[in-house]
Amino acid sequence: MYYKVKRALKKGYKQLRVNLSAANNPLFIAYYKYLFFPRKNTLNHFLHTYSQSTKPFTVIQVGANDGITHDPIHKYIKRDKWQGVTLEPQPDVYNQYLKKIYHNNEGLETLCAAIGEKDGYQKLYKVAFSKMRWATGLASFERQNLQKAFENGYVKLNCDKYGVEYPSSTEKHITEVSIKA
C-alpha cells in the first residue's frame, strides 16, 4: 500500500512539473531564477554560472527523453531561454512530454528523430512492458546494450521498485520500433 501511494504521489508531482513547465508558469521560472542555488563544483553550478554569463545560449540535446526528469539542462532552457534543438526518437515519449514542455519556447525546436549514419529509418530497442521513465531511458540502437540491463538485474530491480510486473518470457522483454533517423 505504501509503495502504491508513493508512486501515485511521484506521478502526480511529475505531471505538475510538466504542466508548470509547459505553461512557462512564472512561479516555476522564478524558483530557478531566484531560489535555485546549485552546490559549487557540480555540473549544475557550471551550467548555472555559464548560462547566466552567455547570452544567447544555443544547445543541441540528443536523447532528450521526457525533457524534465534527470535532465540537467531543462531549468536553464526555461529560465534563460536557451535556443537550439532537442531530439528524442521515441514517438510516445516525445508526444507525451517533450513536445508539450517546450512548445511555448521560442527559438527551441523539438524533433522526434535520431541522428543516424544515413537518412531513413533505424531500429530502436525498448523495454516492451513499461513506459516509465527508467524504462524509456534504456532505449538503444544496440539490442545487446538493452539486453545487458536485463542480464545484470537492473530491469528487474526497477520493476520491483516501481511495482511493474516482470514478464517471465524473455520474448516479452524487448520490443523494436522503426524510428526516423
**In-domain check, residue 116:** no
Count of domains observed in the chain:
2
Distance CA 93, CA 78 (A): 19
pLDDT of amino acid 96: 94
Distance CA 98, CA 86 (A): 9
**In-domain check, residue 17:** yes
Amino acid identity, position 46: F
The whole domain housing 13 covers: 2-111
Q: Are residues 61 and 147 in the same domain?
A: no
Q: Are residues 68 and 132 in the same domain?
A: no
Q: Are residues 9 and 53 in the same domain?
A: yes
Closest CA to 134 of 99, 168, 163: 163
The three grid cell numbers given for residue 46, joined into one nine-digit string: 557550471
pLDDT in tens, 97-153: 999 999 999 999 999 999 988 999 999 999 999 999 999 999 999 999 999 999 999
Checking if the pLDDT of 4 tops 80, the result is: no
Q: Are residues 105 and 128 in the same domain?
A: no
Q: Are residues 101 and 149 in the same domain?
A: no
Between 43-57, 76-90, 139-153, the lowest mean confidence (pLDDT) is in 43-57
Specify the DSSP class assigned to residue 94: I
Q: Are residues 131 and 173 in the same domain?
A: yes
Q: Are residues 9 and 89 in the same domain?
A: yes
Summary mean pLDDT of the chain: 93
In the predicted model, what is the mean pLDDT of residues 65-72?
94
Q: Are residues 88 and 141 in the same domain?
A: no
Checking if the pLDDT of 3 tops 80, the result is: no
Q: Are residues 106 and 125 in the same domain?
A: no
Closest CA to 111 of 150, 80, 85, 138: 85
The three grid cell numbers given for residue 87, joined into one nine-digit string: 531530439
